[in-house]
A and B are shown apart, each in its own frame.
Chain A
């Protein structure tokens, strides 16, 4: 295969990407608010008061399904990792969730689980009733490509709540330049990591379920958000309450 080929895969078993790249995932809009919904399942913005319950359901279903049903490894990333660091929960102003997988895991997703739907039942803490939600695992056909291509497909897969269109952004870390940068993995969104910063992953808890975080989570957070992110307790109109260990408005 030529260096510019779209068929440059991470795993030979994964289905080949379409020859002509196009933007696969579409958000409901470009505003900060609308950009966190999958356009196909968007029915209207979810208000602040109710969005947390949906996000909790989203991340629990994602982490549990991956671990128990699919038997695949994934870990928290970006804003979600920062939320874990502060109090093990999604930060209230977040409207999506970020997770990472290895390139090899993505290939397995693409080949065996693309388009799969999963039910997950959770007790809604506010209403006290059990809720069952349905989630779609949608793999970007350009996800398994190693190069970034046009840049329109920086997200490799999504775990989508079909009722609201809210989702978990899944990006795959691959060794994209083994000759010049051995042992360095990256996503298509300009995040680089040394393998030893990630592995072996640490098993912990997030939003009440088992979750994995990178080995050097503190370095990863400081590299991405600056040391400030670990100390500033006023953020996005919220304040980190010392007693409650919660971000309150």
Chain B
């Protein structure tokens, strides 16, 4: 029968094809069917899909557990792939599928691949604090028993008011709170995104008001600086007054008096008259204790009345500087959360770098990535393309040389499948970037930048190498203008990182983000006032 079928298919009308030909064709058909069947298995999708970005190695779901985090966060170089402009879109469904699988895995070992320096004495007692549930905005419909008089205020419902860097501008803060009719007695709750103090005229007043209003806050880098200054002038807590118990490790600082005298002679006297120290001196010990108790991250949790993204995110957090996407809150570095503005990723260079698949494949990955990079550079000699594996580790830095962390954060949140918990971050710190609240954001892959992959800076760590250090200095100044090339094809998404530092510290504006629950669900709005020194 098969022979008859085949006979009909053959041209020339041969009536009797050979047995071997029949078997060959049957075999081929079987093989094809098998291939089609197995190719649809999810695991093998990666092998055969040519546009999968990253190293040449196959990533089995089990091993590459951390890669999802960085994969979503890190820039994709799919724009150079075979698909050209379209490849990011083609990739998207596959990526989200990968991420869904990988995200389910408990372990996010991105932290394991980066440094871990010892903690600071000035670190707060807790990294993360949870906002008490009673402050979560919940819509309470007006009850018929409310009289005409006080009905309006009481039925308005609780609001969360998050304020950007106040920087000691008490008058502006008061004006802002008046403008929005803030009243903590009626359930409004104030949250400071750090940097309440320094720069402006009345740091002490701001702290006092914050404490009086029962406000929540996170520690900012300037708050941190004042706490360090307070430590230097021994202004912490009651214990320090007597000088007893200051050395936690038991070493008695018997030379304490001597030390102060030596240090004073050694010129620290001049430094202790600086701004941070003056503020530290002006604050009461109770105020310093309050500042010291502030967490680095304030977790608001979910808004029960929120119906749509991004405000229906599983977790809302307030931080001062930023967060590394894809890294659990508990694993964020305190200094980084207070100070970061951008993220840098490993590029190619003299040192072999470390991509994040299974640790024993390091060398292969490194070489593979470098080879890919070299190939691409040959193809596109004009552009300074550095190839970054999608699972590249993101290192947060204070400067702006890398990708703005909020861009990476927005991209990461938007790429998460709907079923996976999302996190919305409200932050301050970056006055230069200013207010960042537009609901729609660009989530295009961060194609390339040449911060340190080009220029051939020698990274020999040798303190005796004078020329090296000199060259570093020179090259650093030349590379001040970084090219942050955005992908031409702009992908849009929802904003999951809201920046509130509108430059009050520089005499510009103070911003509040007000979260309130109404009959239609949860909404937010922005209010601003001017800051005058």
Residues of A within 8 A of B (CB): 35, 64, 68-73, 77-79, 82, 84-88, 91, 94, 96, 98, 102-105, 107-108, 154, 169, 189-192, 195, 199-206, 210, 215-216, 218-219, 222-236, 239-243, 245
Contact assessment for A108 and B262 in the assembled complex, using a CB-CB cutoff below 8 Å: yes
Indicate whether B533 reaches chain A with its CB closer than 8 angstroms.
no
Contact of B397 among A70, A218, A225 (CB under 8 A): A218
Q: List chain A residues, Cβ under 8 A from B335.
A: 218
CB distance from A39 to the nearest CB of B (A): 15
Provided the pairs A79-B462, A204-B119 are in contact, do residues A233 and B353 lie with their beta carbons within 8 angstroms?
yes
Contact assessment for A79 and B117 in the assembled complex, using a CB-CB cutoff below 8 Å: no
Indicate whether B10 reaches chain A with its CB closer than 8 angstroms.
no
Q: List chain B residues, Cβ under 8 A from A35.
A: 464
Contact assessment for A223 and B476 in the assembled complex, using a CB-CB cutoff below 8 Å: yes
Q: List chain B residues, Cβ under 8 A from A86.
A: 115-117
Extra A-B contacts (6), CB below 8 Å, given A88-B116, A222-B397: A203-B121, A227-B402, A231-B345, A232-B349, A232-B354, A233-B353
User: Which partner residue on chain A sits nearest B469 by CB separation?
Assistant: A190
Contact assessment for A202 and B228 in the assembled complex, using a CB-CB cutoff below 8 Å: yes
Q: List chain A residues, Cβ under 8 A from B492.
A: none
Interchain CA distance A212-B117 in the complex, whole Å = 13
Provided the pairs A219-B399, A230-B395, A231-B346 are in contact, do residues A104 and B354 lie with their beta carbons within 8 angstroms?
no
CB distance from A124 to the nearest CB of B (A): 20
Question: Contact string, B391-413, partner A, CB cutoff 8 A, digits 1/0?
Answer: 00101011101100000000000
Question: Contact string, B418-457, partner A, CB cutoff 8 A, digits 1/0?
Answer: 0000000000000000000000000000000001100001
Interchain CA distance A235-B263 in the complex, whole Å = 38
CB distance from A95 to the nearest CB of B (A): 10
Residues of B within 8 A of A (CB): 109, 112-122, 225, 228-229, 231-232, 249, 251, 253-256, 258-263, 265-268, 271, 274, 276-277, 335, 339, 344-347, 349, 351-354, 359, 362, 366, 393, 395, 397-399, 401-402, 451-452, 457, 459, 461-464, 466, 469-470, 472-473, 476
User: Which partner residue on chain B sits nearest A229 by CB separation?
Assistant: B459
Q: List chain B residues, Cβ under 8 A from A88.
A: 116-118
Contact assessment for B265 and A108 in the assembled complex, using a CB-CB cutoff below 8 Å: yes
Provided the pairs A87-B116, A104-B266, A200-B225 are in contact, do residues A79 and B461 lie with their beta carbons within 8 angstroms?
yes
CB distance from A203 to the nearest CB of B (A): 4
Pairs A-B, 3 closest by C-beta atoms: A71-B259, A104-B267, A242-B112
Contact assessment for B259 and A87 in the assembled complex, using a CB-CB cutoff below 8 Å: no
Provided the pairs A86-B115, A98-B463, A102-B267 are in contact, do residues A222 and B353 lie with their beta carbons within 8 angstroms?
no
CB distance from A80 to the nearest CB of B (A): 8
Provided the pairs A169-B463, A204-B120 are in contact, do residues A234 and B397 lie with their beta carbons within 8 angstroms?
no
CB distance from A10 to the nearest CB of B (A): 9
Provided the pairs A189-B466, A239-B362 are in contact, do residues A222 and B457 lie with their beta carbons within 8 angstroms?
no
Q: List chain A residues, Cβ under 8 A from B402.
A: 227
Q: List chain B residues, Cβ under 8 A from A218.
A: 335, 339, 397-398
Contact of A227 among B109, B231, B339, B344 (CB under 8 A): B344
Contact assessment for B119 and A91 in the assembled complex, using a CB-CB cutoff below 8 Å: no
User: Which partner residue on chain B sits nearest A171 by CB separation?
Assistant: B463
